[in-house]
Structure 1
Amino acid sequence: MRLKTLARACATLALIAAGAAPALATPDKPVIALANAYFGNTWRHQMVDAFKEAAEKAKAEGKIADYIILNGDGTVAQQNSQIAELILKKVDAIAVDAASETAVNGIIEKACKAGIKVVSFDSIASAPCNWQLNFDFKGYKREQAEWVLKKIGGKGNVIVVRGVKGSAPDADMYSAQEAVLKNYPDVKVVATVYGQATASVAQSAVANALPSLPHVDAVLGQGGSDDTGIAQAFDQYGGEYAKKMPVIEGGGSSNFIQWWTKQREANNYSTISMNTTPGIGGAAFWLAYELVKGANPPKLMIMPVATVTDENLKDFSSLPAGVIVSPSYSQQWVQDNLIKAKAGN
């Protein structure tokens, strides 16, 4: 309940900050909006910050009249209501981090019919009229799971920590992990829990499961800051894990990378971190802007992921605490890599 209250409060504050009554759009200066279904983890906070940074830059340069940011509590009902509100405000474009791949399609179609450009990203929607800016969740999760299972010799006990319940990324990543696990008959999944891509939730879920489990050799996660919470759960459990930690998939959290660095120095710990980049919020803003200005990119565009290995770990170990590994994406980057890069997308 606290999380929902916080999300609603953040939504209200964001709307006020961006202007509850946005400046009127003109053909030269559009109003761009963000409808973010969920605001309960570090990744989403950083994504919203990236959108806001790009929007502030565009506004300062006179490219847009205004922008609106609405953050939700994770429910379809609230996001439908938010998008309906944005339609009434007659914004020019909406970037949607969706609560569901299908359940928000109806309101998105209404937005499209009203002449609004819609881009769904990260957690995409499947409405035919909207552009999708996605990650190859299945591809990179297959690659990461293969690395981890080979690292433990193709046998042992594994915990699977799923992400944001009901989201398209959770479904894609979990299906990819299941496909890889089927190729390793000597690997046993001893627990499957939801971590909500949040350190505290993941820590609690894993900590509650550990006392009833056999020795755990690896953990397959989904990213955000769940990696930090998983590591903390094993740290606190101690015992057999005090000297030999399971191979925990990294999800790009700087706190996990700092933990990994210390473990590597002390015990030659080895793992791999791969994550979707919250900087996509900035890319989504610039893509929405370019669509309003007449760009015609592919309907589906794929963003790169960030990868940290034992070899380049030192390049990221000095990141500040509480952030997710991510580049920022400029208007020029979007023009060069999304608008113009039609082949293969």
Structure 2
Amino acid sequence: MKKLLLGTTLCALTTTFAAAEETHRPECFAPAPGTSTISYDAKEGPYKIAFVNGFAGNDWRIQAIQSAKAWAARDDNAGKLSEFNVVSVGNDSAAQIAAIDNFIAAGYDAITFIAVNPTAFEPVIRRANRAGTVLVPFDNVLDTDQVVQINESQMALGTLKATSVMEELGGSAEKILMVNGLPGNATDRDRRLGMMSVLEKVDGLEIVEVVGNWDTGTSQKVVADALATHGQFDAVVSQHGSAGSINALQAAGHPIVPMGVDGENGVRILMDELGIPGVSASQAPAMSAVALEAAVALLEGNTLPQTVFLPIPQVAAADLEAGVNYFPDLPKSFNTGTGYVDCFAPFTPEELLGQSPDNK
């Protein structure tokens, strides 16, 4: 097997495609199609690990920080750590790289992060490799194939939602509303492509698209405008901000129709209360904990796919259950993506809410 050595003998990046049987715990760290594999020389623990977050000003990012801290607090993981630190640096890419460099200089074994800018990290990847520090970006991943990256397939997430509503409709529909995300963002692009891959195959279907910016208030407004202009729809597929889409339908007296929606607590509450058929699926903030799990696996000498596509946390409307996959007593903004069952036991709300989002 041909290998490309990066820097020292620290890391070997294979140039062949990854197969699940070649990699560590493929039920969790599933290879993306066509990806290669990465492995490092094993290092003896316990390990010094940091999570360098960028922006921390929304509920998803706060819960990602809480998930990382909850992971580090679990007994099985705490025993593998000599130090664990979380810092948030805002939207300044230079500040994020400087923070990563500081942890590299301090001898940290691994660093996870959500990249502020996916194109600015080649020099820091080289510096980390020379120092023997493992980098594991997640969510907003990098334009590189030199490190293991943790994500969900955004196309698969869009495909799942569209497939669910079409199954509820028996495979035929006349008009469907698609509530997209932030224009120009790769995540919005890929989720839309996933939805369109299903809906474009439906004979005679009119697809009405609006821009919801992944925001509840914006989604409510644009859905209300679409209802006023186009009348009733057979189904709705929404990337995020789905509570706003549901609220607009209710305010207009629209009949209950199948929906593919996000995983916020308030969305699932509405879905169950109103009897909305379809699926709730999410990009889970607990991805931060999977990135830490991957960092430890790599430090222990295991082989992982270069690009990991995590299983998508989802629940069909018929399987919604209070206290299990949504929580009536918690804030509506709480994200129900509290873990990946194929990776580790999902966090309880108490585990997450017991952690602060502050730097430490």
TM-score, normalised by the number of residues in structure 1: 0.72
The corresponding residue for 2:336 is 325
Distance change in 2, residues 1:38/1:222 (3 Å): farther
Distance change in 2, residues 1:115/1:206 (3 Å): farther
Q: Name which structure has the greater RCO, CA cutoff 8 Å, separation 6+.
A: 2
Out of 162, 181, 191, the position equivalent to 2:199 is 181
Identity over aligned pairs, percent: 22
Whether the 8 Å contact between 1:199 and 1:230 is mirrored in structure 2 is: yes
Distance, in Å, in 2 between the alignment partners of 1:229 and 1:154 is 23
Distance change in 2, residues 1:86/1:171 (3 Å): farther
Out of 218, 227, 249, the position equivalent to 2:260 is 249
Distance, in Å, in 2 between the alignment partners of 1:167 and 1:35 is 22
Distance change in 2, residues 1:290/1:273 (3 Å): same
The corresponding residue for 1:71 is 88
Out of 241, 244, 269, the position equivalent to 1:229 is 244
Q: 1:231 is aligned with what amino acid?
A: I
- Within the alignment, does 1:156 sit opposite 2:178 as a pair? no
The corresponding residue for 1:172 is 190
Unaligned runs of 5+ in 1: 1-25, 335-345
1:287-342 per-residue CA deviation (whole Å, 9 max, x = no partner) reads 212323333333233322222213312353545343222354699849xxxxxxxx
Whether the 8 Å contact between 2:283 and 2:312 is mirrored in structure 1 is: yes
Distance change in 2, residues 1:318/1:29 (3 Å): closer
SS at match of 2:108: coil
- Within the alignment, does 1:52 sit opposite 2:57 as a pair? no
Distance, in Å, in 2 between the alignment partners of 1:327 and 1:260 is 19
Whether the 8 Å contact between 2:211 and 2:222 is mirrored in structure 1 is: yes
- Within the alignment, does 1:304 sit opposite 2:304 as a pair? no
Distance change in 2, residues 1:260/1:333 (3 Å): closer
Q: How many residues align?
A: 297
- Within the alignment, does 1:35 sit opposite 2:52 as a pair? yes
SS at match of 2:318: coil
CA apart distance, 1:118: 0.9
Out of 144, 158, 161, the position equivalent to 2:161 is 144
CA apart distance, 1:176: 1.4
- Within the alignment, does 1:281 sit opposite 2:270 as a pair? no
Out of 259, 268, 273, the position equivalent to 1:262 is 273
Unaligned runs of 5+ in 2: 1-42, 346-360
1:17-41 per-residue CA deviation (whole Å, 9 max, x = no partner) reads xxxxxxxxx9633321213334343
CA apart distance, 1:201: 4.7
Whether the 8 Å contact between 2:286 and 2:337 is mirrored in structure 1 is: yes
CA apart distance, 1:111: 2.8
Distance change in 2, residues 1:259/1:119 (3 Å): same
Q: 1:182 is aligned with what amino acid?
A: E
The corresponding residue for 1:4 is none
TM-score, normalised by the number of residues in structure 2: 0.69
Whether the 8 Å contact between 2:238 and 2:262 is mirrored in structure 1 is: yes
The corresponding residue for 1:341 is none
Distance change in 2, residues 1:160/1:202 (3 Å): closer
